Chains A and B, each alone.
Chain A
Amino acid sequence: MATLLEPSFLRKLDTMTLRSRRLFRGMLRGERRSRSLGRGVEFADYRSYQSGDDYRYIDWNIYSRLDRLFIKLFSEEEDINVHLFVDTSQSMAWVHPSKLDYAARVAAALGYIGLRHSDRVGVVAFADRPSRVVPPHRGRGQVLRLFEALGELEGRGTSDLRTAMWEYVHKTHRRGLLVLISDLLFPNGFEEGLKLARYHRFDPFVIHVLSDDEIAPQAAGDLALIDIETQAKVDVSMDGPSLEAYGKARDAYFAEIERFCVRHQIDYLRTTTSVPFDDLILRHLRVGGLIQ
């Protein structure tokens, strides 16, 4: 735990909760509003009394005025499932500080927040398929297990979001918040994987993690760039025109991601490893709506 998050930082997370754009039906009572109407404390609606209803929920004030029996409905406060979908392909572990370390810390913080507030939190490490799956569990006792799983993540393999997502969504029946932490540098694209998550009624939140060198390459000279995942090669002369063209392609790619997320109602946040981790969790993710 100490290697991922400091205790002082964890105390700052105690007051935070995870937010989801959608309401999910949980399994147990939790600390968030559910689509279910039942025994919660937050009033939701009235309905006519029916045989078998609990007398304790009859609104007697209304009965005295209207001489009819109405039952008060309350929103059920249930837990949600939080799926931390962490990209562990080789590209995530390439540069130092590695994007994978950064992603693991983000996932740890989000998982801690969820477990602290009785959500079910699971971790899925994937490259071209889910390589390690920690099924969603609830309870603060799961924090250590979660951190242990995140601390053991290793970057290897080529990335394929669609295949990994397809396999995972068909294994789990627990829909919920799906936090994808990745560099989105998928040779086969990211669109199909996210569409698949949306189709299976997950609420995806994309945290796009990049390194500074991917934003603005620092190398110079005539190089043969080799993709560490696919071993594909491209000859590049790192001069002014090349870097200018790279900048255009990078901006176009970012714009493409943003348009896709807006169109599919997916929250998207892009960051680099040079952004302080504390700022990302305590400020940017709160502003982004994932944490409140």
Chain B
Amino acid sequence: MIRFAAPGALWLLAVLPLIILLYMLRSRREPMPVSSILLWQRTRHELATQLPIRRLERSLLLLLQLLAITAAVLALAQPAVRLAAATGEATVIVVDLSASMQATDVPPSRFLAARRRAIDLVRSMQGPFMIIGAGSRPSIVASWGDRSEAVSVLNRLQPTDGPADLDQAIGLALAQRPAGRNTRPRVIVLNDGAGPLRHHSAGIQFITVGARSQNVGIVRLHTEPAPGGTHVVVHIRNAGRQAVAVPLAISLDGRRMISRRTIVPPSTTTVVTGSVRGEGAIKAELVVPDVLAVDNTSYGFAGMARPRVLIVGAPDRALDEALAAVEARRVTVSRITPQALEQADVIILNATPPVPLPSGNYLLMGTTAPNLPVVAEGLVRNPVISRWSRGHRVLRYVDLDDVQIAETLRLRPAGGEVLAEGEVPLIWAFNGNGIRAVVLGFSLGQTDLALHPAFPILLSNALEWLGGSAASIEAGQSVTVPAGRSREARLFDPAGGVRTLMARNGAFVVPSLNTAGIHTLAAGGGRRQFAVNVPAAETEIAPSVPPTSPPAASTQTGSDPMISIWPLLICAALTLLLIEWFLWLRTLPRVPSRRAKTPGRVARVIGA
């Protein structure tokens, strides 16, 4: 592989046509006195000497000049040859494990094709290898090892139903160094598309698999309580360029409840609604044979138990009404104890004094907690909400325009995520250490938020995100569930597999759920279900090559096994110029075949 440190110099190759043109142009004629032009005048009619352009004759000198200039320009571009096989360069192979890699437009599938390419690459190179699986949380699946180990790991690798954080995977790959080496490894990424990369993609080799974009999938399944049952909303996305008629089947605990057939225009999302009676797991399925099957099914829940909410602090009528509107179940306790907290899925702290929080899910209004990575440094009056994160699940469909706040805490977060802010953070979310929390810097008594339609939506989103209801999450996400007094829980995946989870810091941290379907966590006497669905972005399966940039010179370190060949090119250019000069000296006075056609120097004609 040849790389150019200064590829801009290659533009100088444009001088080659100019040289050819100069050869064809007639130069300014140099006056030359001769004894007589009598014979030249007789040849004039045969020669096209008046044209500004003459024929381009085969010229060894021209060829040598072109070669010399080409060599010189290539030398200016500072080419270097990477001899990976000879140098045993360290290589990190990043394999995309996202759900879209299961598409079968490249037989047998994108993932299997990528895996085969990766194995071929490993077998064609030498040096230590590392394999990184780029799932929702990229991880090193095989540390530095030899070729056989890398092939073995690749053969065991499987795709997930979740997304791929390719950017994080590349960052992870770039940070790796094999033992005894201080050079950046070669990074090869096998994927089917990537968005903008935060990391500089210079020097990273992308191998993109995928051929088609035609795909239909369910990008969202939403259930809402409705009189007499549950309202089911299914969003069907057609990522292709042709309209598709898809049959949709919705079943409840395996019983077919709804069958619809709808036509989805290209690059459009169509919404199909229906109602079901009863409680249980809902499965919406598109009966269509497309290249990606995993996104044809989506899961949710109907009529499942509402979240149990415990309010601690000053009572608030608006809060009570909003909780009633979202059908949350209120928990009333006489005294706040750890046992009392176990009875609630979500605990709302309304303007309470800051106290350390045990593991659990919390909505804090006008207060903070010492064990949260956020501190309150005084108060701010009349803040204005200037921006908020509409993409976060807590603020989805929430409009905070015209919301007035009289007074709020001056929050200073040291982690987590700011969801809304003015001159100070106003709504902040955190998930970690067994605690999932949403903090509003203001209490309901200091704002008119409760008078806006946004409040019940915000409350519903917060309760759902805080895990107070039967969770419907995207594949690849993790869930934290309060452990209460239980120390052990069992996690059942859709295929029937069981994993045992141990409580840490009073919570069960359910790892990334990479398989779409209904997962069940059983702890103590209770059980909680999670509907895991394929992320909506995975339905867009059009392959794309990430933007690349030329390798930066800074990537070449002192021991980088790149062999510069520009000195050889300089030598070649000089040699060619010497040959050209020598030939020019020799050929300048020579005229082709004139000696052979020279008549005898002495001719004798005797008149008859």
Contact = CB atoms under 8 A, between A and B. Distances in A.
A223 B32 contact: yes
Interface string A176-202: 000000010101000000000000000
Interface stretch (B40-48, B251-259, B436-444, B454-462): B40-48
Contact of B42 (A187, A228, A252, A275): A252
A267 B607 CA distance: 5
A269 B607 contact: no
Interface residues of A, number: 71
B601 interface: yes
Contacts of A95: 35
A8 to B, nearest CB: 23
B179 interface: no
A141 B32 CA distance: 45
Interface size on B, as a range, is 35 or more
Contacts of A183: 35-36
Nearest to A187: B38
Contact of A226 (B28, B32, B47): B32
Contacts of A240: 57, 591-592
A248 B604 contact: no
Contacts of B54: 237, 239
B35 A267 contact: no
Contact of A269 (B38, B50, B605): B605
A243 B592 contact: yes
A217 B38 CA distance: 13
A2 interface: no
A131 interface: no
B605 A284 contact: no
Nearest to A257: B605
Given A220-B589, A224-B31, A240-B57, A275 B40 contact: no
Given A223-B30, A237-B54, A218 B42 contact: no
Interface string A8-19: 000000000000
Main SS class of interface, B: loop
A237 B47 CA distance: 9
B597 interface: yes
Nearest to B587: A220
A40 to B, nearest CB: 27
Contacts of B43: 242, 245-246, 248-249
Interface stretch (A45-53, A104-112, A258-266): A258-266
A280 B605 CA distance: 15
A44 B41 CA distance: 54
A289 interface: yes
Interface stretch (A65-73, A120-128, A208-216): A208-216
Contacts of B30: 221-224
A243 B594 contact: yes
Contacts of B32: 219, 223-226
A254 interface: yes
A55 to B, nearest CB: 44
A262 B37 contact: no
Contacts of B598: 215-216
A96 to B, nearest CB: 12
B334 interface: no
A237 B598 CA distance: 20
B26 interface: yes
B403 to A, nearest CB: 85
A265 B591 contact: no
Interface string B124-139: 0000000000000000
Given A222-B29, A262-B608, A246 B603 contact: no
Interface string B482-501: 00000000000000000000
B594 A185 contact: no
A270 interface: yes
A211 B36 CA distance: 11
A91 B49 contact: no
Contact of A245 (B31, B47, B602, B607): B47
Interface in B560-604: 588-589, 591-592, 594-595, 597-604
A249 B39 contact: yes
Q: Which of A225, A229, A230 has the most CB of B within 10 A?
A: A225
A234 B40 contact: yes
A234 B605 contact: no
A5 B602 CA distance: 21
B602 A229 contact: no
B337 interface: no
Interface string B459-495: 0000000000000000000000000000000000000
B33 interface: yes
A280 to B, nearest CB: 7
B34 interface: yes
B35 A91 contact: yes
A249 B42 contact: yes
Contacts of A267: 605-607
Given A216-B594, A245-B46, A269 B603 contact: yes
B549 interface: no
A73 to B, nearest CB: 29
Contact of B597 (A247, A271, A274, A287): A247
B605 A275 contact: no
B27 interface: yes
Contacts of B588: 220
B607 to A, nearest CB: 4
B435 to A, nearest CB: 89
Contact of A229 (B36, B42, B47, B50): B36
B27 A222 contact: yes
A222 B26 contact: yes
21 contacts: A211-B35, A215-B599, A216-B595, A223-B32, A225-B34, A225-B40, A227-B33, A227-B37, A227-B38, A234-B44, A237-B49, A239-B54, A240-B592, A246-B43, A247-B594, A248-B43, A262-B605, A267-B607, A271-B601, A271-B602, A288-B606
Closest 7 CB pairs of A and B: A265-B607, A268-B605, A185-B36, A245-B43, A249-B42, A91-B35, A224-B29
Interface of A: 21, 90-92, 94-95, 99, 183, 185, 187, 208, 211, 214-230, 232-254, 258, 261-262, 264-272, 274-275, 280, 284, 287-289
Given A241-B47, A250-B39, 17 more contacts: A94-B33, A183-B36, A221-B30, A226-B37, A228-B34, A229-B35, A240-B591, A242-B43, A243-B594, A252-B42, A253-B38, A267-B605, A267-B607, A269-B603, A270-B602, A274-B601, A275-B601
